[in-house]
Amino acid sequence: MANAPRGLVYYPDNRPGISRERWGIGFSYRAPDGTRIDRGAERKRIEALAVPPAYEDVWICPADNGHLQATGLDARLRKQYRYHPTWTEYRAEQKYADLAEFGRRLPSIRRKVSRELSLDAGEYAFALAAVITMIDHLSIRIGTPDYAAENGTFG
């Protein structure tokens, strides 16, 4: 997805970024070219991202208008993301636009799933149709109760 709303640039974390390393009781930040960022507007922007101190392998976008502003690994080694507020708003709008399209297509999806449930139980299409039917009819989500209880989310 290389589209970004006006004013933002699509900047994924596989591109060069600002790194964070422990320095005394705080952190030192290094630009992609290796120079230290110790003061000024850039340092304030980085600190305003409020990346938790416990995060490891922190990557920070060098562009203040990058769609993805920072990533890091939490204590359980899950990658966490900090997005630009404009990107978050844009994605929320897109999600609801996509939901309307999904609603329009749902009747044809259900017809296809119904047809595929008549296939041999060993076929991949049958298994997929069975899972979709359970999600649709039982209003279940993928994930486990243990994960939800521990993390407060379904992943």
Are 74 and 93 members of one domain? no
Q: Confidence band (pLDDT; 50, 70, 90) for 33? A: very high
Is the distance from CB of 20 to CB of 78 less than 8 angstroms?
no
75-123 per-position pLDDT tens digit: 999 999 999 999 999 998 888 888 889 999 999 999 999 999 999 988 9
Could you give the number of structural domains in the chain? Answer: 2
11 found inside a domain: no
34-71 core/surface letters (b: 16 or more CB in 10 A; e: else): eeebeeeebeeebeeeebeeebeebbbbbeeebbbbbb
pLDDT of 141 above 80:
no
| Domain end residue (candidates: 83, 106, 132) | 83
Domain extent for 116: 89-140
102 found inside a domain: yes
pTM for the model stands at 0.72
6-24 per-position pLDDT tens digit: 899 999 999 999 999 999 9
Give the domain CATH number at 53.
Answer: 3.30.66.10
Collapsing DSSP to helix, strand or coil, 83 comes out as strand
76 found inside a domain: yes
pLDDT of 131 above 70:
yes
Is the distance from CB of 73 to CB of 79 less than 8 angstroms?
yes
| Domain end residue (candidates: 83, 99, 118) | 83
Sign of CA dihedral 33, 37, 40, 44: positive
